[in-house]
Structure 1
Amino acid sequence: MGTPLGDFIRARRDSIQPESLGLPERGRRRSPGLRRLDLAGRAGISVEYLTRIEQGRDRNPSIAVVNALADALGLDPSERTHLRYLSKITGGECSAHTRPVPLRRDVRPTVLETLRLLEPGIAMVTNRLGDVLAHTSGYASVTSGTGLLDADTPNLTRYVFTDPRARTFFADWDDIADEQAFDLWIGPTAENSEWFTTELAPVAGPDFTRRLDRRVVPRRGTLRLNHPSGGELQLLRETLELSSDAQQLVVFLPADERTAEALDRLRRRPHGRLRAIS
């Protein structure tokens, strides 16, 4: 059985063409990408050790080995950070799965107070499953008419993959779909797996499964939204990790003057107040 760390390394190795690293072509191969022999040589480790890591038989490589693999794979800064994260969670993966702790769906009072201080700005609290746990009235104004908040327990991942309106609302739907699938994958808890298997996978179809299996770190650029009222909104995102709760506070800021003016018009409409969802 593989591990998040081993799966990521293997997926990255398969995506690299040898010639891009100045390596000679070695003829026909049974699988695409970089050979284990080449990656192991570039990282300064044995092929047998690399095989154990990829297959999940070695779950605790040293920091030096993780850094060497990052160098050998040519990872960018965000991918290096993610590789170190996977290394940490892989080492404690067994105990996490045998004694699963459900994700918190309640939002701490201090976090709710932070949201109130951000009013009438655009902000929400979410988790790796994509649950929208709380949000400001500004967030409601930006998503009004899209169907995202219509459910009793809104979920961004489910919305992206199952609601046809999402493909219009998100101007860069493919990028957002990659983000949501990736966030679900990097939260490898028993609850995530059960939710994916029993609820989302049957209705999301093979496109979701393919994105989940890609294990490519998304770029998370400017968020472009096609609001139903007309016009495109461009938003910058600042994400604050609430690590003790396995949640994130996401704040959205206008990326240009046109968006700032459009947001001012949207805020003048009645959309209710701060909402917490449990």
Structure 2
Amino acid sequence: MDSENLLGQFLRARRALVRPEDSGLPAGSRRRVAGLRREEVALLAGVSTDYYMRLEQGRERHPSAQVIDALARALGLDEEAAAHLHRLARPASGRRRPGTRRERVSPTLLRMMEGWHRTPAVVLGRCLTVLAHNTLGRALFDGHAHSGDLVRLVFLDPNAKEFYPDWERVAVNTVAGLRSAAGADYDDARLIETVGELSLNSEEFRRLWARHDIRRKTRETKRFRHPLVGELTLDYESLTVNSAPGQQLVVYQAVPGSPSEQALSLLGSLSADESAKAPWPSENASPSER
């Protein structure tokens, strides 16, 4: 994964997704590139074509905040993507280097989650690996080859498209969430390993990663086709864990009185006898030690 010119990569990817007509430009019939040309982005942003080309090529490293705002408008970026563009243009000094430091989950948070008997909950790390879960959270994702890693579950698990009826939407949001969680720190060893493996083994992941979509995991309604209890439609909220930057607490809930609530209750009953088993994904480590 090339991390030498992240700003240029992002600009190229995003201008390829903008249709000329959406920017008030003629589409034409002889376009050789997808999306906007460099000179068109420069025109819309009010900068010279030469200056914009230097930005894409990595030869200009210090664009002003005003230029970045203008580029965000020209590319039609939403607030989150525009903020990401600013981070790429001004990466934080002393960026964290690759390491193998283990991500730990607070024992207090673990106890809190275990008290939620009717609510699946998982704690995710920076690369969307499952660091911890309560009993119902484990039961929701259990039974897959990659139950402990939500990115690998989506793209590498043979049953992913059966488990997620809306797989394409889940895939888009998962990749966008992975980029958002990574921020501008593409030197992280786990991220390099994750992106490398998925790029080699999933054409769909490569296609979506190349789009440079940015979208935090916040809230959504998601459908599951669970092998034990069938269809589930659950709302989730993703909450940042202030005591552990980079971690997310994801809490799922069914609409009261709905068939999904009944199915979730059944899943809780079926999983009650399994709660004494060794925690996954590792049989030799507690969730807080992953």
CA distance in 2, matches of 1:121, 1:192: 29
Root mean square deviation of aligned Cα:
2.9
Q: Given that residues 104 and 245 in structure 1 are in contact (C-alpha distance below 8 angstroms), is that contact kept between their aligned partners in structure 2? A: no
The Cα offsets for residues 56-77 of structure 1, whole Å up to 9 and x where unpaired, read as: 333443333222222222233x
| Corresponding position: 1:210 with 2:204 | no
Residue 267 of structure 1 is matched in structure 2 by 268
Q: Given that residues 223 and 232 in structure 2 are in contact (C-alpha distance below 8 angstroms), is that contact kept between their aligned partners in structure 1? A: yes
Distance 1:84 1:65, change over 3 A: same
Residue 168 of structure 2 is matched in structure 1 by 174
Residue 282 of structure 2 is matched in structure 1 by none
Residue 164 of structure 1 is matched in structure 2 by 158
Q: Percent identity?
A: 35
Instruction: Please give the residue correspondences for 1:189-208 in structure 2 after superposition, counting only pairs within 5 Å.
Output: 189-196=187-194, 199-202=197-200, 204-208=201-205
Q: Secondary structure at the match of 1:121?
A: coil
CA distance in 1, matches of 2:146, 2:37: 44
Distance 1:85 1:218, change over 3 A: closer
Query: CA shift at 1:125, angstroms?
Result: 0.7
Query: CA shift at 1:107, angstroms?
Result: 1.3
Q: Secondary structure at the match of 2:32?
A: coil
One-letter code of the match for 1:85?
H
Q: Given that residues 162 and 225 in structure 2 are in contact (C-alpha distance below 8 angstroms), is that contact kept between their aligned partners in structure 1? A: yes
Residue 73 of structure 1 is matched in structure 2 by 75
The Cα offsets for residues 171-195 of structure 1, whole Å up to 9 and x where unpaired, read as: 1112222233334444223314531
Query: CA shift at 1:254, angstroms?
Result: 1.6
Residue 98 of structure 2 is matched in structure 1 by 100
TM-score (norm 2): 0.79
Residue 234 of structure 2 is matched in structure 1 by 235
1 or 2, which has the higher helix percentage? 1
Query: CA shift at 1:111, angstroms?
Result: 3.0
Residue 259 of structure 2 is matched in structure 1 by 258
Query: CA shift at 1:241, angstroms?
Result: 2.3
Query: CA shift at 1:134, angstroms?
Result: 0.1
Distance 1:19 1:87, change over 3 A: same
Query: CA shift at 1:248, angstroms?
Result: 1.2
Q: Secondary structure at the match of 1:168?
A: helix
Query: CA shift at 1:126, angstroms?
Result: 0.9
Unaligned runs of 5+ in 1: none
Distance 1:118 1:62, change over 3 A: farther
One-letter code of the match for 1:241?
T
Instruction: Please give the residue correspondences for 1:17-96 in structure 2 after superposition, counting only pairs within 5 Å.
Output: 17-25=19-27, 28-76=30-78, 80-92=79-91, 95-96=94-95
Q: Mean Cα displacement is larger for which, 15-24 or 49-58?
A: 49-58
TM-score (norm 1): 0.82
Q: Given that residues 179 and 218 in structure 1 are in contact (C-alpha distance below 8 angstroms), is that contact kept between their aligned partners in structure 2? A: yes
One-letter code of the match for 1:92?
P
CA distance in 1, matches of 2:226, 2:136: 13
One-letter code of the match for 1:250?
V
The Cα offsets for residues 26-70 of structure 1, whole Å up to 9 and x where unpaired, read as: 552332211222222222222233223323333443333222222
